[in-house]
């Protein structure tokens, strides 16, 4: 992985929000929404040094743009979004470690991540968001905020789970939020909205108007009903 930083933001003890594309594109939808809504600014880029595939455009190939951005505003650093995740465990580990290094550099005390939670429960356009945290003590603190914890033991793969492990290992508190979805192969805007509302509750801050995400959810539903 290559890491390029052109500017040094003036920021101290920020909250870090970090997630990458996963099933239902939930991680990217939420990250892109926050960046657009809060008009965050780029200060660092993570880029894969050597491509793991090429794109055939029908007679000629192009190299993929496999990179992810760090952005900031006020007391917030936002990482990820975009398309895909690295293909190798070593690259995912490098990204996680870089997020931790950035957290330490700017004295961040908390990391939030999120993704999809595949379920067979009929959602009726009202998916829940489940949380899991880096400690039993932190989970107990969440009980008074009327949020639901993940309902059973499971393994969380990819960046959106592993970053919590890196946070715990480095003494940084973290919360993962995972929105319910039935069809991981299509964009899940309602799961993203559920996560945004939960994130607003936990951070005591407004992240923006989600009406456009609701409109996209309805558009997707009409498309797949037909």
Quick check: 64 pLDDT over 90?
no
Strands, E, within 85-221: which ranges? 110-118, 129-133, 148-149, 173-181
Rg (alpha carbons) of the chain, rounded to whole number? 17
User: Cα(120)–Cα(117) distance, rounded to whole angstroms?
Assistant: 10
Q: By the 8 A CB rule, do 24 and 188 touch?
A: yes
Find tokens 């004295």 and name the residue. 107
Q: By the 8 A CB rule, do 34 and 208 touch?
A: yes
- Mean pLDDT of the chain, nearest integer: 91
Class of domain 2-225: alpha beta
**pLDDT, tens only, 100-114:** 999 999 999 899 999
How confident is residue 37, by pLDDT bands cut at 50, 70 and 90?
Answer: very high
Quick check: 163 pLDDT over 70?
yes
Q: What pLDDT, on a 0 to 100 scale, did the predictor assign at position 81?
A: 86
How confident is residue 226, by pLDDT bands cut at 50, 70 and 90?
Answer: low
**pLDDT, tens only, 4-17:** 998 999 898 999 99
Write down the domain spans for the chain: 2-225
Task: Give the mean pLDDT of 195-199.
Answer: 95
How far from 37 is each of 73, 140, 196, CA to CA, in Å?
A: 11, 31, 12
At residue 172, φ and ψ (nearest 5 deg) are -110, 130
Q: By the 8 A CB rule, do 100 and 159 touch?
A: no
Quick check: 52 pLDDT over 80?
no
Q: What pLDDT, on a 0 to 100 scale, did the predictor assign at position 51?
A: 77
Q: What pLDDT, on a 0 to 100 scale, did the predictor assign at position 55?
A: 87
- The pTM (predicted TM-score) of the whole model is 0.91
């Amino acid at each position: 992985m290559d890491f390029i930083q052109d500017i040094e933001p003036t920021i101290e003890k920020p909250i870090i929000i970090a997630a990458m594309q996963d099933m239902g594109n939930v991680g990217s939808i939420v990250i892109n929404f926050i960046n657009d809504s809060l008009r965050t600014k780029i200060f660092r880029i993570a880029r894969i040094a050597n491509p793991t595939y090429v794109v055939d455009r029908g007679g000629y190939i192009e190299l993929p743009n496999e990179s992810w951005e760090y952005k900031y505003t006020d007391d917030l650093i936002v990482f990820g979004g975009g398309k895909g995740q690295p293909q190798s465990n070593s690259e995912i580990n490098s990204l996680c470690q870089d997020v931790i290094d950035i957290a330490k550099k700017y004295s961040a005390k908390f990391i939030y991540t999120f993704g999809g939670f595949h379920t067979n429960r009929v959602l009726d356009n009202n998916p829940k968001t489940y949380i899991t945290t880096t400690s039993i003590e932190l989970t107990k603190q969440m009980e008074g905020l009327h949020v639901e914890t993940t309902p059973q033991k499971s393994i969380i793969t990819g960046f959106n789970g592993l970053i919590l492990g890196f946070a715990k290992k480095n003494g940084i508190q973290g919360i993962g939020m995972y929105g319910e979805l039935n069809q991981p192969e299509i964009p899940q805007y309602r799961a993203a909205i559920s996560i945004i509302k939960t994130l607003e509750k936990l951070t005591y801050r407004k992240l923006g108007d989600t009406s456009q995400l609701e409109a996209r959810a309805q558009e997707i539903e009409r498309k797949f009903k037909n």
